[in-house]
Amino acid sequence: MAKSYQEIRPSQFITTFGPGSIVETPGGPVVLKAMDTLFTAIDRQPAEFEIIDERLSKGKLGDARITRIPTNAELRLPTDEPIYPTYMFPEWGLCAQHRGHQVLYQASEGCPECMTPTVWQRREKAGREAIRFVTACEAGHLDEVPWAKLAHPDRKPCGTRHYLWHGGGRALRLVRIECPKCRIPVNFGQAYGREWKCWARQPELGGAPDSSALQCQNPARIVQRGSANLRMSELETALTILDMPARLHDILAGRSLLGRLETLSDEDLLDHKRVVSAAKKAKLSDDSIAYLEQTSWRAIEHAIGQLLGPDREGPSSLQDAELEHLRNAATYGAPASPQAQWLGSPPLFEVKQADVRTVPGPVGNLTFRVVPISRLRMVMVQTGYRRLAPDTGKVVSTAFERNGGSWYPGVELYGEGIFIDLVDIPLALTGSRATVWKARYEAALSADLVLHPTHVWWHSLSHRLLWALSVDSGYSSAAIRERVYVRVEDGEVTASGLLLYTVQPGGDGTLGGMISLVNRFGRVLERALQDVATCSNDPLCEEASTGGAEGAACYSCLFASETSCEHRNHGLDRLLITDNLP
């Protein structure tokens, strides 16, 4: 464990950090180790912190289970005590306490011109002075800069354990690395731009590889350890759109009980008495058993039917099922049954049908149905990460094995949102941009929906709405997330829509800042579409779409924060909206 620490929220661990990420602490940078080392260190099992979402586990995670990161409070530890195991990285420091030059040295050796006495003092000093450069490759590997090879590009290394660093400032071309023995300086700027051998190192799994057979076939590059593209999380998310109380879901969805209920259902033996008996055999708490005994059989039967229903199967149906539930909630409200409010337990998902509004577009071509969602639950899972290349880089899995099962780190979030779809009239896109996107979608080998013209239209509108909503909702645009839905059957779009939501860990979610804008959504929509045809980066932004780029989109007009966009700002084109104004 690291002596110094940085407090990381569970949601930050999933969206930004995680195994293999470099975390800056007061005592220097460290790499977070693999997840299994955490549960070994705290001597607990991931099942104690499990997040239940059967649809996500079976549909996207190959039946793997989800666990959250325990907090210090849950473990009854002081808030300043580190609980997550780390590995010091990088282990090279740059000492600037000398005239005329700086000294690049290893933590284990210490600066030879300072000679700090103890091993711990040497490592502590190196942590404070850690070099800001590392190497990484698109296969997901991370390693130290090969300083010995860098300082001796055309000759055998001299065997020295430290190097002299001359120059500095913002320009790397002014930096020279010099071996204290052979005294031949090397330009660091040139070394920064070239490719290096990759030795397939993953610091989260331990130390450096000791065999050249592990050499990776991908070239490594020198990057700054704080670069945003050094580690990019791969996320899977799922909405829990179930017509049942949150307490009833937490009890019935537990693995120990759900498997028994599935067996009873297959044998057609489900009734109130047997469910309570199954809960006792599953060793649920007395409070949970008492809750089941007091809840009506009708409410329990309805909840079990949803948990064991077909919606939890199959990756292709995950978002389609969400879209169907959202459309049904917009029509009938949710929860539909009054039993969902029994025993003081709030629902997992809530839509008051009387608050649904229809809003015509500014031009009058389309009419939107705007649905306020006062409660929603989102489960977010980090399935892996990429390095350097967000699209072509290899995904390194964050799954780990424990007691014969696979686990992924995740977080459970609660909040509010606005669902938007069209009333009656289907979205019929026209114009040259629609033709271009249709050709791209049909040419894609996997028929990626992100390239479908309907998806691009909703996605581009979503980013404009993110900005417009943030003006009045009290949330920053980075705090509002999106979820675009397009259902394609036999080559035709049969349903589409957009969910904008904001969530936070724990508690009952947010305070209604978003859904309060439903009655003023017409004004929000007008603001979102204002000046959509222009960009401060025009003509460059507009002309980019004709030069092989995806579409007319940049940070000045459409790009959103990485915490908001599920598709990393791909599949955006404001000109498609301009050709098809609502």
DSSP 116-155: -SSHHHHHHHHHHTB-SEEEE-TTS-EE---HHHHH-TTS
Residue 106: phi and psi, rounded to 5, are: -90, 145
- Residue 161 CB neighbour total at 10 angstroms: 13
Q: What would the two tokens of residue 1 be?
A: 């464990």
Please tell me the predicted confidence (pLDDT) of residue 159.
82
Least confident of 101-115, 436-450, 505-519: 505-519
Residue 473 CA to its chain's centroid (Å) = 23
Mean pLDDT of 455-459: 96
Of 60, 63, 93, 82, residue with least CA distance to 7: 82
- Give the tens place of pLDDT for each residue, 330-360: 998 887 655 544 555 677 888 998 999 999 9
Task: Identify the bridge partners of residue 408 per DSSP, sorted by sequence position.
Answer: 66
- Compute the CA torsion angle 183, 184, 190, 192 (nearest 10 deg): -30
Residue 348 to residue 334: CA distance in whole angstroms: 10
Q: 65 vs 32, 55, 239, 315, CA distance in Å? A: 21, 11, 16, 15
- Give the tens place of pLDDT for each residue, 254-305: 778 888 888 888 888 889 999 999 999 988 888 889 988 888 888 888 888 8
Asked, as a colleague might, if the bond just before 90 is cis with ω within 30 of 0, I would say yes
Domain ranges of the chain: 10-230, 241-311, 338-579
Residue 240 to residue 303: CA distance in whole angstroms: 13
Q: Band of the pLDDT at 396, cuts 50, 70, 90?
A: very high
Q: Above 90 in pLDDT, residue 397?
A: yes
Of 444, 422, 567, residue with least CA distance to 494: 422
Of 349, 322, 378, residue with least CA distance to 15: 378
* Alpha helices for 267-423 (secondary structure H): 272-281, 286-294, 297-307, 318-332
107 within 8 A of 117, measured Cβ to Cβ? no
* Alpha helices for 168-234 (secondary structure H): 188-193
Q: Above 70 in pLDDT, residue 69?
A: yes
Mean pLDDT of 132-159: 90
Please give the order of strands across the beta sheet that includes 162-166.
Answer: 92-95, 102-106, 162-166, 176-178, 185-187
- Give the tens place of pLDDT for each residue, 193-244: 899 999 899 999 876 554 555 678 899 999 999 998 999 999 998 888 777 7
Q: Above 70 in pLDDT, residue 569?
A: yes
State the DSSP H helix or E strand holding residue 247, giving kind and residue range, or none if neither. helix 246-252
Least confident of 373-377, 472-476, 534-538, 556-560: 472-476
State the DSSP H helix or E strand holding residue 12, giving kind and residue range, or none if neither. helix 10-15
Mean pLDDT of 174-194: 89
Mean pLDDT of 88-109: 86
Mean pLDDT of 118-133: 77
Q: pTM of the entire structure?
A: 0.84
Please tell me the predicted confidence (pLDDT) of residue 346.
72
What count of Cα atoms within 13 Å lies in the side-chain half-sphere of residue 190?
Answer: 8
Q: What is the mean pLDDT of the chain?
A: 85
Residues 6+ apart with CB under 8 A from 20: 31, 32, 140, 142, 202, 203, 204, 231, 385, 396, 398
Strands (E), 70-121: 86-88, 92-95, 102-106
Mean pLDDT of 45-52: 90
Residue 493 CA to its chain's centroid (Å) = 28
